[in-house]
Amino acid sequence: MMERNEIVLYVKEEVKRLWQLESRPDLEKDCVDFILNQWGEHEDNDYLAYLVVKFLSTLCGDAVSSEDLEFQYQQSLSDKERMIFTP
């Protein structure tokens, strides 16, 4: 069983290896903290990757999708049409 400092080092190294947002080292650190708070005794690389996805998924919960953008665009067109054709 790994000691706490070994776990911290392992998680930092693995997150660094998986991390794709090079411009956001602040989020990388938050991700490491998130994983360390979720970490149990018998975890492995698969669980760590799952936790990285879980962390990023929580950040994306309020993200705007292409479908959202299309709806907003169509809505703005409808609003403009109403303004133009409403006496």
Q: Write out pLDDT tens, residues 54-78.
A: 999 998 887 888 888 888 888 887 7
**Whether the predicted pLDDT of 80 surpasses 80:** no
Q: Could you tell me the pTM of the whole model?
A: 0.73
- Give pLDDT, residue 48: 94
Whether 42 contacts 14, CB under 8 Å:
no
Question: Domain spans of the chain?
Answer: 4-85
**Among 14, 16, 56, CA closest to 34:** 56
At CB < 8 A and 24+ separation, what contacts does 21-29 make? Answer: 27/59
Half-sphere exposure of 7 toward its Cβ, with a 13 Å CA cutoff?
Answer: 16
**Among 85, 87, 81, 29, CA closest to 55:** 29
